[in-house]
C-alpha cells in the first residue's frame, strides 16, 4: 500500500462520523485561533518597536549625559506660560570633559548635543506652545510627510511632531509642509528673547521612544544655542547637554562594559534599545500568558483527538482485522490512524489561522480608528510566514502525539480477535 493510498484511506475514514470529527476539528481550531491571534499581536507590537528603534539609530548608538542631568519630556503640545522661565539649568559637558570622552577607544562617531532651550514655537494661529526638540545627531525619524532636517548647511529647518500640526493652526500635515513658524529662545545670562523663523520640511509620526519630540536642523540648533549663550562668560560657552556616540563593537557584553566605564566617570549612558526594553518585556509577558491559554485549549483538543480515534478504532475493529489478515503490516495500520490525527491537526490549525487572519483585519481597522489612532505605521496584528508555519507544525505534532495511543492500539489488534469482534 502506497503512502498516497494510506493518506486517501485516512481522509475517507476520518469523515465516516462527520459530527464527531467536526467537533474535534473545532476544538483544535479554537486553540489555533487563540495562539495565532496572540502571536500576531506579539509580532505587530515588536515589529513596531523595532521599526521605531531602527528609525532613531543603530544598536550601538548611545546617548551620554551627566549622571545628575535632569529634564522630563512632556507628551503633546503644552501651552507656553511666561512665568516658566527660559533655558533649563543643568550640569553640562565641558570641552575638557568632551576631550576625555573622545579619548575612549571603545566609542566612535562622537557628536556633542548642544545645551539649547527653545522657549516656545508659534504658528499661523499665534498660539504659543512649548516644544521638545533636538538636532539630527545620528537619527532619522519615521516621517509622515516631507524629509529629514538638514544635518549640514545654513538652512533653519524643523521636522515637526504630528501633534503640533493642528495646535499651531495648520489643517493638515500636507498644508504645513514648506510653511514657516516662529521659534523663540532666550539668553541664559540676560533673559533677552530672540525670535527666529524655521521652515517646516517634514512631519514625523508619533514615536513611542521619543514621544512628541521634534527635530531641528543643525543650523537652527546652532542659532538657538548661540541665543542661549549670549552674554555668558567665555568659559561657560561651548558646553554641551550630552553627547551621542556609537560603540565600536556593539555586542550586548561590550555595551554593558562601556556603560560601566562611563558610570565610573559620572555619566548615564543609554541606548535606544534600552528605552524600549521594558516595553518589550511587558508585551512578551502578556502574550506569553495568552499563549498559555491557547496551549490549554490545545490540550483539551488533544483529548478530543484521542477520543475520536479511539472511537474510530472501536467502530472499525473488524475492518482492521480484515486488513491485517490480508497482509497489512502493523506499521501501516499505525500510519493510517496517525495520518488521521495529523489531518485533524492540519485542518484545525489552518482553519484557526484563517479565522485569526480575518479577526486580525477587523482588530487592525478598529485599532487605527480608536486606541491606536495617531500611531501611524502601527499594525496591531501581523502574521509572518515562519510563525504561521510554526503554529501549523506544532499543532500537527500535538495532534500526532495525541493520536499515537489509539494508533498503537489499532496496530496491536490480533487479526482473528478483531474479525470475531461484534
Do 103 and 193 belong together in one domain? yes
Q: Alpha carbon of 355 to those of 38, 153, 297: distances in Å? A: 13, 54, 16
Asked whether residue 159 is domain-assigned, the answer is yes
Do 73 and 206 belong together in one domain? yes
Asked whether residue 259 is domain-assigned, the answer is no
Do 15 and 87 belong together in one domain? no
Asked whether residue 65 is domain-assigned, the answer is yes
List, for residues 180-197, the tens digit of each pLDDT value. 999 999 998 888 999 999
* Domains in the chain, number: 2
Asked whether residue 263 is domain-assigned, the answer is no
Do 158 and 293 belong together in one domain? no
Do 203 and 347 belong together in one domain? no
Do 312 and 399 belong together in one domain? yes
Asked whether residue 268 is domain-assigned, the answer is no
List, for residues 70-126, the tens digit of each pLDDT value. 444 445 576 766 655 444 444 678 888 888 898 898 998 887 877 678 999 999 999
Do 225 and 93 belong together in one domain? yes
Mean pLDDT, the chain, rounded, equals 82
Interval 22-26 mean pLDDT: 90
- What is the reported pLDDT for 310? 81
Between 57 and 2, the higher pLDDT residue: 2
User: Domain end: 192, 227, 249, which one?
Assistant: 249
What CA–CA distance (Å, rounded) separates 312 from 329?
19
pTM of this prediction exceeds 0.85: no
Question: Which backbone phi and psi does 105 adopt, to 5 degrees?
Answer: -75, -20
List, for residues 250-286, the tens digit of each pLDDT value. 888 889 999 999 998 888 888 867 766 666 777 777 7
Do 167 and 305 belong together in one domain? no
Do 239 and 158 belong together in one domain? yes
Asked whether residue 22 is domain-assigned, the answer is yes
- What is the reported pLDDT for 85? 46
Domain limits for position 23: 3-52+279-419
What CA–CA distance (Å, rounded) separates 65 from 92?
8
Residues in the chain: 422
- Reply yes or no on whether the pLDDT at 69 is more than 60: no
Do 112 and 199 belong together in one domain? yes
Q: Are strands 157-161 and 120-122 parallel, antiparallel or unpaired?
A: unpaired
Do 206 and 308 belong together in one domain? no
Do 119 and 202 belong together in one domain? yes
What are the residues facing 190 on neighbouring strands? Answer: none
Amino acid at each position: 500500500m502506497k503512502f498516497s493510498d494510506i493518506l486517501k484511506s485516512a481522509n475517507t475514514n476520518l469523515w465516516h462520523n462527520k459530527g464527531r470529527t467536526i467537533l474535534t476539528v473545532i476544538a483544535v481550531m479554537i486553540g489555533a485561533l487563540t495562539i495565532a491571534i496572540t502571536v500576531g499581536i506579539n509580532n505587530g507590537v515588536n515589529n513596531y518597536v523595532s521599526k521605531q528603534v531602527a528609525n532613531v539609530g543603530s544598536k550601538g548608538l548611545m546617548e551620554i549625559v551627566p549622571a545628575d542631568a535632569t529634564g522630563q519630556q512632556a507628551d503633546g503640545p503644552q501651552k507656553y506660560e511666561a512665568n516658566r522661565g527660559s533655558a533649563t539649568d543643568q550640569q553640562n559637558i565641558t570641552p575638557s570633559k568632551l576631550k576625555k570622552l573622545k579619548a575612549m577607544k571603545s566609542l566612535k562617531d562622537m557628536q556633542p548635543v548642544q545645551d539649547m532651550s527653545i522657549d516656545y514655537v508659534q504658528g499661523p494661529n499665534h498660539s504659543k506652545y512649548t516644544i521638545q526638540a533636538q538636532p539630527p545627531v545620528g537619527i532619522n525619524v519615521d516621517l509622515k510627510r516631507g524629509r529629514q532636517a538638514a544635518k549640514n548647511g545654513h538652512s533653519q529647518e524643523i521636522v515637526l511632531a504630528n501633534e503640533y500640526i493642528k495646535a499651531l493652526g495648520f489643517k493638515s500635515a500636507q498644508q504645513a509642509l514648506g510653511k514657516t513658524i516662529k521659534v523663540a529662545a532666550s539668553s541664559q545670562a540676560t533673559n533677552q528673547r530672540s525670535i527666529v523663523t524655521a521652515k517646516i520640511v517634514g512631519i514625523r509620526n508619533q514615536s513611542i521612544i521619543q514621544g512628541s519630540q521634534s527635530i531641528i536642523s543643525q543650523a537652527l540648533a546652532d542659532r538657538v544655542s548661540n541665543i542661549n549663550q549670549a552674554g555668558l562668560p567665555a568659559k561657560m560657552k561651548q558646553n554641551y547637554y550630552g553627547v551621542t556616540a556609537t560603540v565600536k563593537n556593539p555586542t550586548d557584553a561590550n555595551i554593558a562594559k562601556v556603560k560601566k566605564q562611563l558610570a565610573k566617570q559620572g555619566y548615564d549612558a543609554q541606548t535606544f534599545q534600552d528605552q524600549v526594553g521594558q516595553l518589550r518585556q511587558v508585551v512578551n509577558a502578556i502574550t506569553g500568558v495568552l499563549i498559555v491559554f491557547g496551549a490549554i485549549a490545545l490540550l483539551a483538543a488533544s483529548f478530543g483527538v484521542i477520543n475520536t480515534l479511539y472511537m474510530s478504532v472501536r467502530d472499525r475493529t473488524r475492518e482492521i482485522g480484515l486488513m491485517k489478515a490480508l497482509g497489512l503490516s502493523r506499521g501501516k495500520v499505525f500510519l493510517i490512524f496517525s495520518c488521521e490525527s495529523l489531518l485533524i491537526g492540519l485542518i484545525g490549525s489552518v482553519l484557526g489561522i484563517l479565522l485569526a487572519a480575518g479577526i486580525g483585519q477587523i482588530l487592525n481597522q478598529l485599532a487605527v480608528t480608536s486606541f491606536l489612532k495617531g500611531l501611524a505605521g502601527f499594525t496591531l496584528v501581523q502574521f509572518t510566514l515562519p510563525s504561521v508555519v510554526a503554529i501549523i507544525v506544532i499543532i500537527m505534532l500535538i495532534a500526532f502525539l495525541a493520536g499515537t495511543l489509539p494508533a498503537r492500539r489499532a496496530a496491536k489488534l490480533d487479526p482473528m480477535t478483531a474479525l470475531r469482534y461484534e
